[in-house]
């Protein structure tokens, strides 16, 4: 068997590594991948892009994979999975219509409202004037969440704490040419209290396999300060959520699949549900239509070979019942190393092309530590240099979260490059 994975980050490296461990899989090809991935046995890179349909399909047909996994959200929003299905190539990834659960925050909120899926109160505007007027009408004691409707690489959500910050976000998202986030519609949401949790399922339209739960850290600095990023790390809790909460999450996933099918948007692929948990009260914050990054690097080291089989079944529309692949006996902590200047939302340039120093022993994944590469490339002397915002991540597993956290931070000290940054409080629960 050969599997083709579309993407280039730590999420895709984790998937490639996981599949490479399967004796039934002979080769894992990542397009375009990155230089660090090829240190994993069986993993190769394929130069190419998904952006030109005919060229892309020609490349895929030449590779002749057993199935394709689409990692990032952008190709899903553009309909790459539709192209593959039209060409009779098995694929894990929702259609463009189904991907609107992530590509349009406005669609997602209206969908939840139509299908009685619990979520925060919201307001939609399409101009700076309407946005500012709405903010002026509020009692701003608890702040408000401002979300860009369009895809924004994890940077399109700002949990504002005062009126001035909220107004600046409105102007930035709708009008500022210097802001990385650009959108034509804005979503305001009531701030919810509680603890955030991400839930993951692998779906084929009617049935799903639960993959597990993770807690992510989005802001760039300790104590959840600074701008939002694509993710600075996270952990898998060992004693949470409770069975009652898990049952409610299952209910939300089932409602989502049923609602999407009823609306002619049958959902097949990874479903990522962002949740706010307050006691036994569960609300959906957002949907994503692919695995998370870094949540993939947290969950996959703890999933067994049933994950590989479920991927094949989804790609071929063969899931026959709901199942639970959730790991139950260990915790995992993942720490992301970023380039200086990341996330560069204010225009600060990233400190790039610096040599990454670390012991080569980390290439040999053992039972406790796992290294996944993202924004890296090979230099002229074959060493790795940082070429993106999020550079690499280290996952550590242990019986408890505290033990996994200690192991991760002890080993992260062996890594170094100019401008390197990471949060010191991941999983400090």
Instruction: Give pLDDT tens digits for 280-296.
Output: 999 999 999 999 999 99
Domain count along the chain:
2
Max mean pLDDT among 80-84, 140-144, 164-168 falls in 80-84
Q: How confident is the model at residue 366 (pLDDT cuts 50, 70, 90)?
A: low
Which residues span the domain enclosing 13?
Answer: 2-96
Task: Please give the Cα distance from 196 to 294 (Å, whole number).
Answer: 15
230 in a domain, yes or no? no
- Mean pLDDT, to the nearest integer, of 92-104? 97
Is the separation of the CB atoms in 37 and 61 below 8 Å?
Answer: no
- How confident is the model at residue 329, as a pLDDT? 84
Average pLDDT, the chain: 94
- How confident is the model at residue 140, as a pLDDT? 80
- Tell me which of 171, 190, 209 is where a domain ends: 190
- How confident is the model at residue 360, as a pLDDT? 86
% of the chain at pLDDT higher than 70: 99
Categorise residue 262: left if φ over 0, alpha if ψ from -120 to 50, beta otherwise: alpha
Q: What share of the chain is helix, strand, coil (3-state, %, to 5)?
A: 30, 30, 40
204 in a domain, yes or no? no
Task: Please give the Cα distance from 223 to 400 (Å, whole number).
Answer: 22
Question: What is the enclosing helix (H) or strand (E) of 330?
Answer: none
Give the DSSP letter of residue 355: B
- Tell me which of 190, 223, 246 is where a domain ends: 190
Torsion of CA 136, 138, 144, 147, to 10 degrees: -60
- Tell me which of 81, 96, 111 is where a domain ends: 96
Q: Are residues 81 and 163 in the same domain?
A: no
- Mean pLDDT, to the nearest integer, of 215-237? 93
Q: Read off the pLDDT of residues 134-150 as tens digits, 9 standing for 90 and up.
A: 999 988 877 899 999 98
């Amino acid at each position: 068997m050969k599997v083709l994975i579309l993407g280039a980050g730590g999420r895709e490296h984790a998937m490639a590594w996981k599949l490479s461990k399967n004796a039934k899989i002979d080769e894992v090809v990542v397009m375009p991948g990155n230089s660090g991935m090829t240190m994993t046995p069986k993993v190769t890179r394929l130069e190419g892009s998904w952006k030109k349909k005919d060229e892309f399909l020609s490349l895929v047909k030449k590779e002749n994979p057993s199935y394709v996994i689409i990692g990032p959200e952008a190709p899903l929003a553009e309909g790459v999975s539709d192209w593959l299905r039209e060409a009779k190539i098995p694929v894990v990834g929702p259609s463009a219509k189904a991907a609107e659960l992530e590509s349009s925050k406005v669609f997602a909120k209206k969908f939840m409202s139509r299908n009685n899926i619990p979520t925060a109160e919201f307001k939609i505007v399409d101009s700076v004037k309407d946005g500012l007027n709405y903010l002026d009408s509020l009692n701003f004691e608890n702040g408000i969440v401002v979300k860009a409707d369009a895809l924004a690489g994890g940077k399109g959500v700002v949990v504002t704490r005062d009126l001035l910050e909220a107004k600046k976000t409105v102007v930035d998202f709708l009008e500022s040419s210097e802001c990385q986030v650009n959108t034509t519609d804005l979503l305001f949401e009531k701030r919810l209290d509680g603890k955030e949790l991400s839930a993951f399922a692998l779906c084929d339209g009617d049935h799903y396999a639960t993959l597990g739960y993770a807690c992510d850290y989005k802001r760039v600095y300790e104590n959840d300060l600074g701008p939002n990023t694509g993710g600075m790390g996270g952990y898998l809790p060992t004693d949470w959520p409770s069975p009652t909460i898990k049952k409610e999450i299952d209910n939300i996933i089932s409602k989502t699949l049923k609602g999407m099918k009823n609306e002619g948007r049958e959902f097949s692929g990874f479903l990522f549900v962002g949740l706010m948990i307050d006691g036994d009260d569960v609300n959906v914050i957002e949907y994503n239509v692919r695995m998370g990054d870094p949540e993939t690097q947290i969950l996959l080291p703890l999933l067994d070979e049933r994950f590989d089989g479920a991927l094949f079944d989804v790609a071929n529309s063969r899931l026959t019942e709901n199942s639970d692949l959730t790991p139950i006996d260990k915790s995992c902590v993942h720490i992301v190393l970023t380039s200086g200047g990341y996330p560069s939302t204010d225009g600060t340039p990233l400190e790039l092309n610096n040599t990454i120093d670390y012991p080569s022993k980390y290439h040999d994944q053992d039972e406790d530590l796992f290294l996944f590469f993202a924004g890296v490339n090979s230099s002229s002397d074959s060493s790795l240099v940082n070429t993106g915002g999020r550079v690499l991540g280290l996952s550590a597993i242990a019986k408890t979260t505290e033990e996994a956290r200690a192991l991760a931070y002890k080993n992260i000290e062996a890594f170094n490059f100019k401008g390197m940054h990471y949060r010191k409080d991941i999983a400090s629960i």
